[in-house]
Amino acid sequence: MPKVVALEEHFCIDELWGRQLGGIHERVYARLADYAELRLREMDEAKIDMQVISHAPPAAQNLPAADAIRLARRANEVLHDIVGRCPDRYAGFAILPTPDPAAAADELARAVEQYGFKGAMIHGLTHGSFMDDKRFWPIFARAQALDVPVYIHPGTPHPAATEAYYKPYSSMMTAGWAYTAETATHAIRLVLSGLFDAYPSLKIVLGHLGEGLPFSLWRCDQSLSRGNTMPRRFKDYFRDHFYLTTSGNFSYPALLCSMLELGVDRIMFSVDWPYASNKEARDFIDTAPISPQDRDKILSHNAAKLLKL
């Protein structure tokens, strides 16, 4: 079993590069498009044994359906080839053409059954809609049937939110706040929709130590559980169905809060490469005020169990 597994680590294909989130420096692209020498060197320098690779945002979430199907399939083929070159160092999360939910479910099955991918990553909204919309539920049904997780990753904020909340402060529109707020909202909506009652074995992964939700879990539970017809309390759904990664959030208080609220078995190491530093991520977890046993769980054991590595 790999000693260190990082599972929010990105790549991209040229056909989708022009659709990436704006303002990304070419140095980042050089890393996204590197599948061997530079990527492996930086992994080795930080003593990271395996990357679970996924396409960079916004992937295929906001394309016309036909383009989304074609390019998701193409990206998964490229990723399959990447993993095949270094199967002891790489694994994959599928990109899904969510504008066509039935095709997305089929692509997930193809990627898992034919390519051995470990789940899928979805980047934010699909043409303005959150994934709690029931037309997307076939994707989650397939994920449960395949026993693989779905990673909900930030994407471009909704234009109405951008206009109402973030204009003219452009720095708020990305990781500074908008990504966190929108992805946390996405997770809450999944719970309130009844998704986990319909699919009681479904597993969802959130990056960045849960997008702030562990810190607010008590308050969310008190408010969202009040007068709600859900069979269980909000906190129970969150603790039973969600896993968190450390990607791009190297904060000791945030880590300890997440461990206290969800337990260490729900937390996995990630970097958010190449947007964050492998070395910084390793230094953070290696020096965190936690036990060696908990550190081993976060670095590899939890991911190995969830992803069947």
Verify cis geometry, omega within 30 degrees of 0, for the bond prior to 168: yes
Closest of 194, 203, 201 to residue 234, by C-alpha:
194
Verify cis geometry, omega within 30 degrees of 0, for the bond prior to 58: yes
Q: What phi and psi, each to the nearest 5 degrees, are found at residue 267? A: -120, 135
Which residues in 148-179 are b (16+ Cβ under 10 Å) and which e?
Answer: bbbbbbbbbbbeebeeeebeeeeebbbbebbb
Verify cis geometry, omega within 30 degrees of 0, for the bond prior to 274: yes
Determine whether 272 is an active site residue: yes
What does 249-277 look like in DSSP terms, one character per residue?
A: ---HHHHHHHHHHH-GGGEE----TTTS-
The backbone region for 272, taken as left when phi is positive above 0, alpha when psi lies in -120 to 50, beta otherwise, is left
Containing 267, the helix (H) or strand (E) segment is: strand 267-268
**Which of helix, strand or coil describes residue 228?**
coil
Amino acid at 59: A
Give the residue carrying structure tokens 């930086």: 42
Chain center to CA of 167: 26
| Residue of 14, 272, 283, 294 marked active site | 272
**Which of helix, strand or coil describes residue 301?**
helix
Catalytic residues: 272
